[in-house]
Amino acid sequence: MVKVLFIGNSHTYYNDMVMMFKNKCNENRIEVDVTMLTHGGKTLLWHSDEPEIRFNILYGEYDYVVLQDAAHPFVGEENLLSGVKKIKKYIDEIEARTVLYMTWEEKINIQNQEKMSLAYRNVASKTNSMLAPVGDYWNKAIVNDPNIELFADDGRHASELGSFLTSNVLYYSIFEELENIDIKTMIDSFKKIK
């Protein structure tokens, strides 16, 4: 049994994305137990001061802890790094793996994704964390098919398809190789489910 803790905000809990991740694991014969500590609109720095974070990490026997920071507006690299470092000290204490869940820019600012992506890549490198480059894969999917709708009506959160793509990128980032993601096949499989 692999235990995964997700810490973040609505970009983690929207559309039951964590359950989509668990289902993807189960499809691939990986038994996982998932837990979420999420609060709408909150940053990792905010989470880092919450007693539930320290307690859950130190006593939850997790193998992976997935960290997702505020995206709209993005907190910037310095705040992202500070939040990750404060939480990662507990993760390192239990010898679990830290996974940074890179989010996406809002629909009207999608051209700014590279700034967010670079910040996540830099912080992953500086903290020796795994990276789940969700925002990059959103861009790839949109370039591949401009008519695809990954955004919910508010232009910030994920549609069901966006959450499905997110769960797949997280799965492949943790358990396989990202190069194994075929975006078109994945989208087709989502359409079959629906």
CATH number where 57 lies: 3.40.50.1110
Q: What global pTM score does this model have?
A: 0.96
Domain that residue 108 falls in? 2-189
Question: Would you state the structure tokens that stand for residue 191, as one six-digit string?
Answer: 């359409």
Asked if 57 and 94 touch (Cβ cutoff 8 Å), the reply is yes
Q: Looking at the 3D structure of the chain, how many domains does it have?
A: 1
Asked if 75 and 15 touch (Cβ cutoff 8 Å), the reply is no
Helix locations, the chain, DSSP H: 10-13, 17-27, 44-48, 51-59, 77-93, 113-127, 134-144, 160-175, 183-193
Digit-coded pLDDT (tens) for 71-107: 999 999 999 999 999 999 999 999 999 999 999 999 9
Digit-coded pLDDT (tens) for 10-30: 999 999 999 999 999 999 999
pLDDT value at residue 186: 80
* Nearest in space to 173 (alpha carbons), one of 122, 121, 127, 126: 121
> Is residue 48 situated within a structural domain?
yes
> Is residue 67 situated within a structural domain?
yes
> Is residue 181 situated within a structural domain?
yes
pLDDT value at residue 145: 87
* Nearest in space to 77 (alpha carbons), one of 26, 116, 108: 116
> Is residue 102 situated within a structural domain?
yes
Reported confidence tier of residue 194, pLDDT bands at 50, 70, 90: low
> Is residue 194 situated within a structural domain?
no
Percent of the chain at pLDDT > 90 equals: 84
pLDDT value at residue 146: 87
Mean pLDDT of 115-142: 96
Q: How many CB atoms lie within 10 A of CB 52?
A: 11
